[in-house]
Structure 1
Amino acid sequence: MPGEQLESLIDTPAIREAVAIVLERTNGENEELQWGDVKDALSSGQWGRLIEEGILVSGSSGFVLSNPEHIRQKFDKYDASSETAAQVDKIETEPWAWYDKVAGVCALIFFIGYWSPQIRNVIASVDNIILGPVTHALPFYAVVLLLALVTGLYSTVLQSRLMDTEKIQQYKDRMERLNRRKETAEEREDEEALAQIQKEQMKAAGDQLGMFKLQFRPMVWIMVLTIPVFLWLRWKVRGGHLGVGETGLIVPLAGSVSWQQTLLGLMPTWIVWYFLCSMAARQVIQKTLNIQISPS
C-alpha cells in the first residue's frame, strides 16, 4: 500500500482506532487475527474496512497485517505528531458561574451542620415549617419514603442536566488511548515512545482537575437540597420530636426495631430506611424517565 494512501486512511478516526487495536493484538508482527479476536474492541464495519483497504490480508487461517513494519512506522509517525498533539490539548470546560460558587459555600455550611448543633437546629427549624404539617398527615416511615422520592427525583434530574457526560468521556477516552499506546510501546520496548507518552500522561493528568470540577458541580447542587432534608430527619429522630406512636419499623429478620436502634453496623434504622428508599427511588426514576447520568 502506498505511504500516501496509508496516511490518508490513518487520518480517519475510525480507521486509526482500528489500526491501533490490530497493532496491539498482533504485537505489530505477522500474527494472524480472526474477527472473534477483536470483536470486543472493533465494530464489524471497522474490521471490514481494514480488509477492504488492504491493511489486513488473508493468511492461512485468519488475517494478517499486509506490511506490519511499514504500517507501524506510519502509525507511530502520525501518532507522535497530529493525534498526540490533539490528545493532550486542554479540554475546554465552562467555569463555574457565581451561583454555582454560592451553592458550593451553602453546601459547605450545611455540611458543617452534621457536627454543629447550632447550625443543625436552625436548618431543621426552617425545614420543619414546611415538613411539620406533612408529619401530622403521614406516619414517619411514609414521610421518610416521600422525602426519599423527592430527593431522588431532583438528584437524578440535576445530575442529568448539569453533568457534562460528553466532556467527561473525552477525558476518559484520552487516558485510555494513552494507556493503550504505552502498552504497545512497552511490548516493542520502544524507550523513545515511552518517554514521549509519559510526558503526555503527566500533562493530561494536570487536566484531571477539570474532570473533577465537571463531576462535582451537580453534587454541590444536590447537597444544597439533600443535606437540609437529612439534617431535619436527624433532628426529628434524635431530638425527640417524633410522635408518641412513632416507635420504629418491623424489619425482616430483625423484627421490631426503634428508629435509633442500629441496624447495619453502626447505622441507625432511620438512616438505613432513608438510603434504601432513596436508592430504590433513583433506580425507578431513571428507568421511568429514561435518564442517562453517566457517560455512554
Structure 2
Amino acid sequence: MPGEQLEALLENSAMREALSTVFERSEEGNEEVQWADVSDALSSGQWGRLIETGVLVSGGTGFTLANPERVRQTLEEHGHRSSGAGVEEIESGSWAWYDKAAGVAALVLFAGYWNTGIRDIIASFDNILLAPITELLPFYAVIIVLAIVTGLYSTVLQARLMDHEKMQAYQERMKDLNERKEAAKDRGDDEALEQIQEEQMEAAGDQLGMFKLQFRPMVWIMLLTIPVFLWLRWKVRGGHLGVGETGLIVPLAGAVSWQEPLLGPMRTWIVWYFLCSMASRQIIQKTLNIQTSPSTSS
C-alpha cells in the first residue's frame, strides 16, 4: 500500500494500536495472522479496515502484512517500540582516563615478552613478593596458587567491568537484523532486504562498541596477569628454579622438564599454568555464582 495511505491510517490512535497489535502477533510480519489471533484486541471494524486498505493481504490460511518493513518504520516514527527499534539509543561505552592509562601500562608490560630488560625488572620485583611462597611450596604448587589468584581476580574484574546489559543489547540487535533479513529473503521482499542491509551498515559501529566493552576488563586483567606470566618465564628460562625443581610427571608423557614442549610448541610450565587457571576460573564462577557473559534469551 502507498506510504501516504498508511500514514493517514495511523493518524487515528485506535488504528495505530490495532496495527501495532497485528504487527507484534504476526511476529513482525513474518507469520500469518487470523482474526482469532487478534480478536481480543481489535474490533471487527478495525480488522476489516486493515484488509480494505491493503495493509493486510490474504495469505495461505490467514492474512499477512503486505509490507512489514514499511509498517515497522511507520510505527517507529509514531513512537511504537518493536524489537528492532531503538537502535540509536545504545551508546558505545567510553573508557575513562584510568582505563586508557591501564591500557598503556599493559602494552608496556606486554613488551616484556620480547624485551629482556623490561622482563627482568618486572620479574625481579615480583620475585620479592613471591619469595615467601617459593620457599614454602614446590614450583608446581606455586603455579597452582598463582593460577587460583589470577583466576579469582580475572573472574571478578570481568564480571564487574563488563556492561552485560549493553552487550546483550548489541547481540539482540544483530540477531534481530539477521532474523528479519532471513524472513525477507524467504518471502522474496527485495525492498525490505535493501532497507535491512542499510540498517546493518548503520549498525556496523556495533562491532566496535562490542569490542570496546569486551576489551575493557581484558586490559585490567592483563595489567595484573602479565607480570605473573613474566615472572614464571623468568623463573623457568632464567635458571632461577630451586634444586630438584626439574619438572613434573604427566599422564601418558611421563616425566617432563618445565622447558620441554608438552602440547605442540607449548612448554610444560605454560600448559600447566593454563590448565590450572582454566580449572580455577570454572570453580570460582560456580562457587561464587559469578556471571562473566551476558545472558542469552531463547
Instruction: Give TM-score scaled by structure 2 length.
Output: 0.80
Q: Measure the CA separation in 1 of the matches of 2:235 and 2:38.
A: 66
Q: Measure the CA separation in 2 of the matches of 1:197 and 1:84.
A: 14
2:71 is aligned to 78
The alignment status of 1:19 with 2:26, answered yes or no, reads yes
Residue 254 (structure 1) shift: 0.8
1:39-58 paired onto structure 2 within 5 Å: none
Q: Residue by residue, what CA displacement relative to the aligned partner does 1:5-28 show, whole Å, maximum 9, x if unpaired?
A: 5324257xxxx3x5327x54x5x5
The alignment status of 1:256 with 2:268, answered yes or no, reads no
Residue 165 (structure 1) shift: 1.0
Residue 206 (structure 1) shift: 2.1
Residue 65 (structure 1) shift: 8.7
The alignment status of 1:172 with 2:161, answered yes or no, reads no
Q: Go from structure 1 to structure 2 and tell me whether the alpha carbon gap of 1:201 and 1:210 turns closer, same or farther (over 3 Å shift).
A: same
2:47 is aligned to none
CA contact (8 A) 2:84 2:177 kept: no
Q: Measure the CA separation in 2 of the matches of 1:50 and 1:277.
A: 57
1:232 is aligned to 231
Counterpart code for 1:6? A
1:43 is aligned to none
CA contact (8 A) 2:147 2:280 kept: yes
Structure 1 residues without counterparts, runs of 5 or longer: 31-47, 55-63
1:98 is aligned to 97
CA contact (8 A) 1:152 1:281 kept: yes
CA contact (8 A) 1:90 1:207 kept: no
Q: Residue by residue, what CA displacement relative to the aligned partner does 1:98-137 show, whole Å, maximum 9, x if unpaired?
A: 1101100011111111111111111101111101221111
CA contact (8 A) 1:251 1:257 kept: yes
1:211-226 paired onto structure 2 within 5 Å: 211-226=210-225
1:286 is aligned to 285
1:125 is aligned to 124
1:68 corresponds, among 63, 83, 87, to 63
Q: Which moved more, 1:278-287 or 1:85-94?
A: 85-94
Q: Over alpha carbons, which structure has the higher Rg? A: 2
2:200 is aligned to 201
Residue 78 (structure 1) shift: 3.4
Q: Measure the CA separation in 1 of the matches of 2:146 and 2:161.
A: 22
Q: Residue by residue, what CA displacement relative to the aligned partner does 1:179-198 show, whole Å, maximum 9, x if unpaired?
A: 11111111121111111111
1:58 is aligned to none
Q: Go from structure 1 to structure 2 and tell me whether the alpha carbon gap of 1:53 and 1:252 turns closer, same or farther (over 3 Å shift).
A: farther
Q: Measure the CA separation in 2 of the matches of 1:52 and 1:112.
A: 66
The alignment status of 1:182 with 2:175, answered yes or no, reads no
Say how many residue pairs are matched: 259
Q: Go from structure 1 to structure 2 and tell me whether the alpha carbon gap of 1:186 and 1:246 turns closer, same or farther (over 3 Å shift).
A: same
Residue 144 (structure 1) shift: 0.2
Residue 76 (structure 1) shift: 3.5
Q: Measure the CA separation in 2 of the matches of 1:161 and 1:210.
A: 18
Residue 210 (structure 1) shift: 1.2
Q: Residue by residue, what CA displacement relative to the aligned partner does 1:203-239 show, whole Å, maximum 9, x if unpaired?
A: 0012321111011000000000000000000000000
The alignment status of 1:7 with 2:14, answered yes or no, reads no
Instruction: Give TM-score scaled by structure 1 length.
Output: 0.80
Structure 2 residues without counterparts, runs of 5 or longer: 1-13, 43-58, 77-81
Q: Go from structure 1 to structure 2 and tell me whether the alpha carbon gap of 1:51 and 1:273 turns closer, same or farther (over 3 Å shift).
A: farther
Q: Go from structure 1 to structure 2 and tell me whether the alpha carbon gap of 1:203 and 1:262 turns closer, same or farther (over 3 Å shift).
A: same
1:34 is aligned to none
Counterpart code for 1:153? L
Q: Go from structure 1 to structure 2 and tell me whether the alpha carbon gap of 1:8 and 1:198 turns closer, same or farther (over 3 Å shift).
A: closer
